[in-house]
C-alpha cells in the first residue's frame, strides 16, 4: 500500500507500518511514524526504509573502543607526564556509580596492601547524591559538586595533567581519557 499527501510522492508501506499509522500501537508511535513518512515524502523517497539494502553493520567492542581511545591526542604540555589528579563524573555520578567506584578503588587498595590512593581523585556528583553518599564515604575520597568541565575551564587547572574516565571531559578539555582498569590502577598505584 502507498501513502500519499497532496502534491507529494507515494511511499510504499509494510503491513506493520500501515497498522502503526492506523493507531494500533498507540498515538505516540502513530504520530512518530506519520512524521517520518512525511519527511520521507518531502525527500522524494518511494519506500520507507530506515536501512538501505547495502547498509553496513559496525560492532563496537572493547578492541574498537581501545583503538579509538589511543587515537585521541594528548593535550598535555608534556605528553608523557604522570597525571597529578583524576576527575571522575562528567556527567555527574549517580549514587550507584559513586558507590561502585569507591568499592572498586577500596578493593584495589586492599589487594595492594595500601590505605590511600596515589593519585588525588575527585568524584563529581549532584549535591543530593553527595549528601546521601557522605555516610558511606571513605576517608581518602574527595567529592565535589563542581562540574569537571567547569573546573578544567580554569586556565590554571587546564595546565595540570588530569586523568578522567569521561570521554565528554576529554573532548572539551585537556584531560586525558583512561579506560576503567587502567584508570583504577593509576588511581591506586600512581603509575
Condensed to tens digits (0 to 9), the pLDDT of residues 168-191 reads 999 999 999 998 899 999 999 988
Residue 50 above 80 pLDDT?
Answer: no
- Give the C-alpha separation, 183 to 191, whole Å: 10
Cell numbers for 93, please give them. 555520578
Residue 15 above 70 pLDDT?
Answer: yes
Cell numbers for 154, please give them. 580554569
Contacts of 176 (CB under 8 A, 6+ apart): 72, 74, 75, 76, 83, 161, 162, 163, 164, 170
Q: Coil, helix or strand for 17?
A: helix
Query: Lowest-pLDDT range, 56-70, 121-135, 150-164?
Result: 56-70
- The pLDDT value given to residue 67: 84
- Looking at residues 24-42, what average pLDDT do you find? 87
Q: Coil, helix or strand for 85?
A: strand
Amino acid at each position: 500500500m502507498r501513502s500519499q499527501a497532496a502534491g507529494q510522492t507515494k511511499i510504499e508501506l509494510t503491513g506493520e507500518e500501515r497498522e502503526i499509522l492506523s493507531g494500533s500501537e498507540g498515538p505516540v508511535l502513530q504520530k512518530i511514524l506519520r512524521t517520518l513518512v512525511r519527511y520521507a515524502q518531502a525527500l522524494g523517497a518511494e519506500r520507507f526504509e530506515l536501512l538501505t539494502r547495502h547498509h553496513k553493520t559496525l560492532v563496537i567492542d572493547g578492541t574498537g573502543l581501545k583503538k579509538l581511545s589511543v587515537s585521541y591526542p594528548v593535550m598535555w604540555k608534556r605528553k608523557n607526564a604522570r597525571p597529578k589528579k583524576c576527575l571522575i563524573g562528567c556527567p555527574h555520578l549517580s549514587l550507584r556509580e559513586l558507590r561502585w567506584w569507591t568499592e572498586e578503588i577500596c578493593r584495589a587498595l586492599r589487594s595492594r596492601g595500601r590505605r590511600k590512593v596515589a593519585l588525588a581523585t575527585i568524584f563529581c556528583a549532584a549535591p543530593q547524591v553527595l549528601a546521601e553518599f557522605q555516610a558511606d564515604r571513605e576517608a581518602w575520597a574527595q567529592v565535589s559538586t563542581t562540574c569537571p568541565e567547569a573546573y578544567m575551564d580554569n586556565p590554571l587547572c587546564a595546565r595540570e595533567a588530569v586523568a578522567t574516565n569521561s570521554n565528554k571531559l576529554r573532548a572539551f578539555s585537556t584531560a586525558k581519557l583512561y579506560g576503567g582498569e587502567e584508570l583504577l590502577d593509576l588511581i591506586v598505584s600512581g603509575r
